[in-house]
Amino acid sequence: MADNGIGIEQEKLDEIFDRFNQADDSITRNYGGTGLGLSIVRDLLLIQNGNISVVSTPGIGIEFSFYIPYLIADIESEEVAVRYKMTERESAGQSVHILVVDDNRMNQDLMAHILEYWGFTFAIISNGREAIASISQGHFDLVLMDIQMPEMDGYSATIHIRTILKSNIPIIAMTAHAMAGEREKCTNLGMNDYISKPVNEHELLELIHKFTVSYRQHEDRLLIYHYLNLDYLKDMGKGDCL
């Protein structure tokens, strides 16, 4: 795989396969990502006794090459691949409207799949500036805020929402930086809670439930508290391919 993009300097090539490392480590860089993709790709290839290599020239582009020592079977297997089991859908949404802020297309698709399945209404945008505009113009019950994004990161967007917009909308941080002190940093900046990537559906639903249903019950005694039976949660795919 090759491109004709900005390329990577030679002294940084050995670092790009490390977890949370990127050639451009600015949190508001022009190109999205978390620094996990290449690390995961390399690990998957090594598990299969393969490998990956890279060559690059700054300003010209970059080229990745990989191999996996697969053999072609003489007889086609008749085994049927195990598919995701469909589960009975629960009415978890209950008119909760959620704003998802994430610049990664795969993450956007995953969040849309989960939220749509559980009956939530939602909007998806790609950076902190769009988040501020969306909250200023519309009503949302909860924000799922990525941390690393182009133009404006999740930290800066949250500070603006709290100090300039004076909004107390619940904000849940989403980040692959599952490091010591990250949760405290998020809460100190005004976020209500924190969930690490890849997002666990069970944990996500609990947080949505905590910061929407229970908050509303506190404000309105007439609201009926809806409990989720999380025993029926299965794999995030629900039999559908993202």
User: pLDDT at position 160, please?
Assistant: 96
Alpha helices in the chain (DSSP H): 37-47, 105-117, 128-137, 154-163, 182-188, 201-211, 213-219
Q: What is the homologous superfamily of the domain 2-67 according to CATH?
A: Histidine kinase-like ATPase, C-terminal domain (3.30.565.10)
Give Cβ neighbours of residue 185 (< 8 Å, ≥ 6 apart): 155
How far is Cα 27 from Cα 95, in angstroms, rounded to an integer? Answer: 34
pLDDT tens-digit profile of 63-113? 888 888 877 766 655 554 444 444 444 544 457 899 999 998 888 999 999
Give the rounded percent of residues in the chain with a pLDDT score beyond 90.
30
Q: Which fold has domain 97-232?
A: Rossmann fold (3.40.50)
Look up residue 202 and give its two tokens: 């069970």
Distance spanning both ends of the chain, measured CA to CA = 23
Domain ranges of the chain: 2-67, 97-232
Amino acid occupying residue 238: K
pLDDT tens-digit profile of 215-230? 454 444 433 344 444 4
User: pLDDT at position 237, please?
Assistant: 53
Give Cβ neighbours of residue 235 (< 8 Å, ≥ 6 apart): 84, 85
Looking at residues 12-37, what average pLDDT do you find? 62
Whether this model's pTM surpasses 0.85: no
Question: Is pLDDT larger for residue 4 or for residue 107?
Answer: 107
